[in-house]
């Protein structure tokens, strides 16, 4: 169990820690009094660090956050909203990479940004796996191509097609709609191209234990953080949906673990996302507006 201590000498009794504690572990019975730690609610502490981060006087000690893990926010370095919008709107998927390995510290910086993403119940469940071995990367692309051939074959079977439509018509029709695209990918691959990873020198996989609640959502949040950090560093990248497709294939359990096993992801973990990374060849000069947002006000 975590340990939280309030230094009564340093405490200014503003009650901010009690106000923002999501588990009501810290409570202030009356205004302008030293808050108290509720032993009854202590098991609710999820070590989110809110109390330590909000206290301006260093009056709170938390067993999960020794002094070396706490730093003042450099507000003078905060980007303006305009700067953030430029970052968001200028980010584009890059699928043309230089034949040059990514530096380890660059990948670590991207992961450092990814691990700062929020997560359900502060589980911080997302784990990261970096693949730079060209033989493994080539095998990933080849495995996805084999999976696409498998899908074409089984959808060409009238019995399977009928059963799939009866089980989930929308998903089955979506799969049938994708078949021409599958065939194009296969032809490109057999002609010597890599339509899956596009020759990216690195693959960053996001995975988590299969029992973690919102583990998939947590991984996507981490992936988005990673994408923005990569863009800020000038690293080209794209979301590798094709790599995830065998993992999510319905009624194809033998395929669901093929990519995770190839990458070395633990058997109890699910692969929830992946980014192909590399130094980009093109550099975009223009930002293009998205469609107007569809907004409902209640």
Instruction: Give the rounded percent of residues in the chain with a pLDDT score beyond 90.
Output: 86
Count of CB atoms situated within 10 Å of the CB of 290: 6
Mean of pLDDT values over 179-190:
96
Task: Tell me the per-residue pLDDT of 97-116, one tens digit each, with 9 for 90 and over.
Answer: 999 999 999 999 999 999 99
Please provide residue 76's backbone torsions phi and psi, each rounded to the nearest 5 degrees.
Answer: -65, -15
Mean of pLDDT values over 138-142:
98
26-27 and 36-37 strand pairing: antiparallel
Residue 3 CB contacts under 8 Å (≥ 6 apart), including other chains: 61, 62, 63
Q: Which CATH number fits domain 90-298: 3.40.109.10, 3.40.600.10, 3.30.460.10, 3.30.420.10?
A: 3.40.109.10
- The model's confidence at residue 245, banded by pLDDT at 50, 70 and 90, is very high
Please provide residue 126's backbone torsions phi and psi, each rounded to the nearest 5 degrees.
Answer: -70, 130
26-27 and 127-131 strand pairing: unpaired
CATH 3.40.109.10 segments of the chain: 90-298
- The model's confidence at residue 127, banded by pLDDT at 50, 70 and 90, is very high
In angstroms, rounded to a whole number, what is the distance separating the alpha carbons of residues 275 and 221?
A: 13
Tokens, residue 107: 């990948």
Task: Tell me the per-residue pLDDT of 251-290, one tens digit each, with 9 for 90 and over.
Answer: 788 899 999 999 999 999 999 999 999 999 988 999 999 9
Count of CB atoms situated within 10 Å of the CB of 149: 14
Tokens, residue 90: 């200028």
- The model's confidence at residue 218, banded by pLDDT at 50, 70 and 90, is very high
Count of CB atoms situated within 10 Å of the CB of 102: 22
pLDDT at 163: 87
Q: What is the pTM of this model?
A: 0.91
Rg value, the chain, Cα: 24
| Higher per-residue confidence, 250 vs 78 | 78
Per-residue pLDDT for 1 more than 90? no
CATH class of 4-69: alpha beta
Per-residue pLDDT for 196 more than 90? yes
CATH 3.30.70.20 segments of the chain: 4-69
What is the overall mean pLDDT for the chain? 94
Sequence-ordered strand ranges (E) for the chain: 4-6, 26-27, 36-37, 60-62, 127-131, 202-209, 236-239, 269-278
pLDDT at 2: 87
- The model's confidence at residue 120, banded by pLDDT at 50, 70 and 90, is very high
Q: How far is CA 46 from CA 26, 51, 122, 165, in A?
A: 12, 11, 6, 44
């Amino acid at each position: 169990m975590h340990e939280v201590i309030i230094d009564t000498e340093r405490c200014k009794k503003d009650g901010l820690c009690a106000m923002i504690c999501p588990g009501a572990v810290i409570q202030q019975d009356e205004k302008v009094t030293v808050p108290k730690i509720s032993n009854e609610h202590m098991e609710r502490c999820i070590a989110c660090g809110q109390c330590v981060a909000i206290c301006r006087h260093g009056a709170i000690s938390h067993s999960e956050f020794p002094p070396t893990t706490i730093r003042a926010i450099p507000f003078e370095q905060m980007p303006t909203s305009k700067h953030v919008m430029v970052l968001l709107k200028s980010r584009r998927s890059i699928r043309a990479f230089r034949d040059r390995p990514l530096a380890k510290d660059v990948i670590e910086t991207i992961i450092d940004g990814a691990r700062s993403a929020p997560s359900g119940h502060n589980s911080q469940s997302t784990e990261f796996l970096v693949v730079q071995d060209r033989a493994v990367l080539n095998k990933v692309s080849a495995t996805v191509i084999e999976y696409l051939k498998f899908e074409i074959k089984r959808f060409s079977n009238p019995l399977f097609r009928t059963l799939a439509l009866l089980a989930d018509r929308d998903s089955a029709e979506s799969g049938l709609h994708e078949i021409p695209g599958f065939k194009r990918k296969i032809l490109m691959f057999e002609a010597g191209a890599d339509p899956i990873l596009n020759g990216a020198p690195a693959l960053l996989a996001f995975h988590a234990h299969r029992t973690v609640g919102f583990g998939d959502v947590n991984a996507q949040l981490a992936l988005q953080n990673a994408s923005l950090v990569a863009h800020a560093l000038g690293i080209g990248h794209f979301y590798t949906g094709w790599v995830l497709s065998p993992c999510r294939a319905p009624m194809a359990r033998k395929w669901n673990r093929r990519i995770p096993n190839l990458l070395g992801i633990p058997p109890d973990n699910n692969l929830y996302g992946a980014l192909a990374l590399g130094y980009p060849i093109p550099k975009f000069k223009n930002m293009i507006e998205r469609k107007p947002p569809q907004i409902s006000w209640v």
